[in-house]
Amino acid sequence: MSKGTERLDRIQVPELEEILGQAFPVLDDGFVRLIDYMGNDDSIVQAARVSYGKGTKSVSDDRGLLRYLMRHRHTTPFEMCEVKLHVRVPMDLWRQWIRHRTANVNEYSTRYSLAIDRFRTTQPDQWRLQSEINRQGSEGGMDTDVGQRLTERETEAQSFLQEIYDERIELGVAREQARKDLPLSTYTEAYWKIDLHNLLHFLNLRMDHKAQLEIREYAETIGEKIVQKWVPLAWEAFMDYRHGSVNLSSDEVEVLALINSGQMEEADKLLLETGFTVPDGDSVKPTLEGRELAGKMDRMGVEVPWGKG
């Protein structure tokens, strides 16, 4: 072959080659399976150096460059890596998952194939209470005696709906119509291909403590079992600068500066002016934004100053 047309060998990551096709179990009957991948940490570094040229020469090593890219949100080099996964996930979680529209997806079709006869089940000690603060979240657990009754009713409902579906199929009803009353707990499967930049965005949202517990288990499995082995340097930078970081608005920075300098009365005034707190009788109470700020302050070991000015 002439110069410039040599065959480029596919980049292989030994740690990933060992787990290709291996199903990592999630929930009671779900899984995540690595099907294929492209690129590694070197691919990100290579793309960045081509793109930024002289601008990256001051960064002496690959780890430093990767951390620089993550720190300053230079995202394009991370798009040079892609991964394809085979997932089995309950339909209610898949609705959340598929909202991330930056992936290529091919889902198991119950128009052509029989529905997967597996449902996500809930153990008596796994039922959660509705959060009074976060309308789309949960907080605390149900009493196990109540949970036992809920689990029994769940089993009855799932068995009944599966029986109805099976009856329709046996009578010759079209699969596209027979499926319509299947519950959201029914498992579905899909091939999901996504680049690393968008995958890290997905993981940052779905690994967050405010994400639904069940989809968080999928995200943690993908991150810890696959991504960490695939691009360890990028994963380290992601955990430091994205997932494990604290982002502060300009108002939050100003509040913290006042607290740090001992100007508690001014800090209280600014919190009210910016809407982090609202009057509550003779005191104040935090808004949603204020509670989020309190969480950040707690992580940094800063005392929350509500009403202490």
Retrieve residue 235's tokens.
């994963």
Closest CA to 99 of 205, 217, 177: 205
Give me the torsion for CA of 229, 234, 236, 238, rounded to 10°: -120
Query: Which residues lie below 8 Å from residue 82, measured CB to CB, with a gap of 6+?
Result: 37, 38, 39, 193, 194, 195, 196
CA distance 194 to 103: 5
Instruction: Say which residue the tokens 């982090």 belong to.
Output: 276
Burial of 208 from C-beta contacts in 10 A (0-12 / 13-18 / 19+): exposed
Indicate if 49 belongs to the active site.
no
Query: Which position among 135, 206, 242, 299 bears the catalytic label?
Result: 206
211 by DSSP, 3-state: which? coil
Angle CA(234)–CA(211)–CA(118) in degrees, nearest 5?
100
Q: Are 39 and 82 in contact (CB under 8 A)?
A: yes
**Would you please indicate which residues are annotated as catalytic (active-site) residues?**
206
